[in-house]
Structures are given as structure tokens and as C-alpha cells.
Amino acid sequence: MKDREPSPPAHSDAPPDPLVVRFLSHLRDPKNASENTIRNYGRALREFRETMRIADWVAVRPDACRAWLYRLTREGKHRPASIRLRFAALRSFFTWAQRERLVPENPAKGIPLPKLPRRLPLFLTTDQIARLLAAPREKWVALRKQAEAGGRKRPGRAWEEWQEARDTAWLELFYGAGLRIGELTTLDVVRYDRASGVVRVVGKGRKERLCPVGEVAAEAIDRYLRLRPFAEETHPRLFLSARGAALTPRAIQLALKEFLMIAGLDPKLTPHKLRHTFATHLLDYGADLRSVQELLGHAQATTTQIYTSVSTERMKKAYRKAHPRA
């Protein structure tokens, strides 16, 4: 289950706060924050202002921030990550406002927040991944057989073939390059460099990184591009729907759920689990932590280190199972 985003404030028709608008503009440029971050921070600040009845940001003191924390905690419907997200917005806003000399202090600074539970990320085994990657072809073969058996009219083999190629290609790239779902759906054709074997990905904070594309994924993308019925000039996004629109994150989520069921796997697994699987498999097969950090686009090595815990746990289980003196 995903952590809750800050919920819209009770009075969503309230006029925009000029100071918050300036802060969000600062996040967009020059900070280059993602649209998700800008949206979530804006919601959190509106929620704080309206819940705590803030009339003037200059007058906000630490006791108001502590009262909000107590209120969020007491409600019992917010996970620690959700509460920390709200206070990240508050601290970032007051840090900026203090630097701009708009407020005398950062009242959210130093307030202890609930700790995040340490959970090891879920991942798929290599056998499970192989079954999942074969699912798009199984799906389209089954659909063709059903149509033929029922005597139903089909849109045409070529039309179905390009969609099968598309689903295979995005799934191979998703796992093979360890992308985030937003990175996958906003990828343009021009960012795929077949000669170099890389894709140029725009990640969090609009930071660009190069992600290697394995030979299997590259062949799948090449086949898809040969069959794709839409021109790059008019449809620049790499992965398109049957109508030529860019595939949305929701479309990817629903398709992945279907492929998981075809592969006999838990359909509740989220797209992000493919990213976890990518990182875990790299470390299992000898990749160093720094390289995995760069491939994932993590700003801090500590974010990547959780995957080493997964690999270590697997190693310990194998040792306890196989070693006679374990």
C-alpha cells in the first residue's frame, strides 16, 4: 500500500497564498523539482495553513508545528512517511522564506518526527522475472486463439502484433534499466540511442542520467519501433496506446497487473517492485553499490544501501539452508 499523499485541504476554494506560490515557483525554477514534489508540497502547505488557521506565516512558531504533528499523529490515518512528507514541505518552505528574509526563523526545524519502519524491499526471483517477461506474448497469443475459436472479427494480425511488441518492449526496458514508472511513460523515442545501447532518462529533480539497455531489451524495442504505426515526428513518446497517445502510469499499472496474473504471480505487486528487482539482481550478480546508485539515479548512497540488506539476507538464508555447520 502506498503512503498517502497530503490530502486536499478542507476548503479547497481558498485563494492561493502569494508566498506559497512564490515558493512553488522557486521549486520549479531554479530548483527543477519534479511536478509530483511541487504538487505534494503545495497541498501540504495549504493543509497546514488551513488546519492550523495560519493568517500570517511570519507569526508561525514551533508550538504550531508541534500541534500539527500531534494532530496528524492522533488522527491515526497517516503513515510516518506521509507525516514526514508534510514536514519536509514545511521545513523546505521556511528555509526558503528565511533565506529570503520573509520570516525570522524556521519553526519546523528540529522537531522530532516519527521514524520510518525499516522494510526490506520486495523483489522477484530470476525465474519469476522470466515468466513475467514472457507474459505479453502469452496474452496476445491467447487473444488470437480465442477470437479464432469464437469466429469473432479481429482488428488484424499486424495491429495486434505491434501491441504485443510494445508491451514486451516496455516491460523489458522497465526491468532491464530499473526505471521509475514516470521515467518510462515520459521517455521520447529520440532519447533511445541504439548505437550506444543507452536511454537518456529524466529522473527526479529533472536530472538526466544514462541507463544502459541490455541486448534483449534493445531487440524488443527495435522490433516494436519497426511495427509501430505512428510516426516519431507527430508522436514523439516512445510507448504509445492504440490511439497514439502516450501510455499513462495508470495504463502501465493495469497492464502489469494483468501480466502478473498471466505469469502466476501476485497481481498486487506494484511497478516499483521491478525497480527493486533490478537493483537486487545487480547486487546479487556482483555489481558494486556505487554503480547501482548511479543506475537508479539515487542522490544518496544510503538510499541504495537497503538493497545490500536484501542480498545479505538471501545469502544468509542460503548459508543456513545448505551449510552443515550453520
Report the distance separating Cα 305 and Cα 290, nearest Å. 10
Catalytic residue among 272, 290, 316, 317: 272
- Residue 197 — left, alpha, or beta (φ > 0 → left; ψ -120 to 50 → alpha)? left
Q: Which three cell numbers stand for residue 306?
A: 537497503
Question: Residue 310 CB: number of other CB atoms within 10 A?
Answer: 19
307 as an active site residue: the answer is yes
Report the distance separating Cα 109 and Cα 87, nearest Å. 9
Catalytic residue among 131, 223, 237, 298: 298
Q: Which three cell numbers stand for residue 148?
A: 479464432
> Of 162, 157, 129, which is closest to residue 143 (Cα–Cα)?
157
Cell 545487480 identifies what position?
282
Give Rg (Cα) of the chain.
Answer: 24
Q: Give the SS3 label for residue 32.
A: coil
272 as an active site residue: the answer is yes
298 as an active site residue: the answer is yes
204 as an active site residue: the answer is yes
Catalytic residue among 109, 131, 191, 204: 204
Catalytic residue among 180, 228, 273, 276: 180
Give the H or E element holding residue 10.
none
Q: How many CA atoms lie within 13 A of 251 on its CB side?
A: 16
Catalytic residue among 78, 91, 275, 276: 275
139 as an active site residue: the answer is no
Q: Give the SS3 label for residue 201.
A: strand
Q: Which three cell numbers stand for residue 28?
A: 520549479
Catalytic residues: 180, 204, 272, 275, 298, 307
